[in-house]
Amino acid sequence: MAIFIGYHGTTRDKCRNIFKCKRFYPSRGDKHWLGDGVYFYLESFFAYRWCVLNCKNKMTSRLNAQCIIDRYSIIEVDINVEERRIFNIDGIEHKSILMETYEEIKNLAEMSSKFKNVEMVEGVVLNYLFSILHYDKDFDIILATFPVDLFLYKNIKMRHAISEMQICVRNGSVINNMREFDFSTEVDKYNHLWGNVYLESDPKKNWYFPKFWA
């Protein structure tokens, strides 16, 4: 049995509803990176960063830490799953299945529009595997690392960039022990980490780097 601690960023209103209903509502659609499911980060920092980016998208003024604390929540959960039921696309075997399926379906007429309408095709392929080929019978979660563009690190000659480890839960029964994670005491630490690992060569720096907040 594998046990993960997952962190899910959401608005305060949605957080209250999740606890009231005692369940998460899956994201649905091919535009989501890993397809349909409930998404969790394995490090709380990235759930915080998700909150920051979503908060900025809804604001017309400059960001500040208090508006994020007031508007957003992070939910912490235990994810208990048998190792054989983890579809791990960081591993070579399941990555091979993903790529082989992509090659098999990319020229199908009914799939062509789906591939054109998304920024990343993993969601299309994974939804096909789980919904059409019924991989949901054998796997409960998808485990994957979202890589950051290495181009941003070329000036310091580092091959290793930031890796966001994510879980997409397809079977909600593996989610246990929901609790709210108080990130308000961690904001200064998170912003310090942000400044160290996200390089200012990133063209988006002026709106999401904490050093530029109000």
Q: Where are the domains of the chain?
A: 2-88+139-207
Task: Classify residue 91 by its DSSP letter.
Answer: S
Q: What is the pLDDT of residue 203?
A: 59
Which DSSP string corresponds to 117-167? T-S-SHHHHHHIIIIIS-GGGT-SEEEEEEEPPGGGGGGGT-S---EEEEE
Question: For residue 57, what are the contacts with CB-CB under 8 A and spacing of at least 6?
Answer: none
pLDDT confidence bin for 74, thresholds 50/70/90:
very high
pLDDT, tens digit, for every residue of 154-213?
565 555 567 889 999 999 999 999 999 999 999 999 998 888 777 666 555 566 778 777
State how far the alpha carbon of 100 is from the alpha carbons of 35, 110, 154, 164, 205, in Å: 17, 18, 31, 24, 37
Mean per-residue pLDDT for 93-108? Answer: 94
Q: What is the pLDDT of residue 117?
A: 87
pLDDT, tens digit, for every residue of 137-149?
999 999 999 876 6
> Rounded mean pLDDT of the chain?
88
pTM recorded for the entire structure? 0.90
Report the sign of the C-alpha dihedral through residues 118, 121, 127, 133, in that order: positive
7, with CB counted inside 10 A (0-12, 13-18, 19+), is: buried
Q: What is the pLDDT of residue 101?
A: 96
Q: What is the pLDDT of residue 157?
A: 57
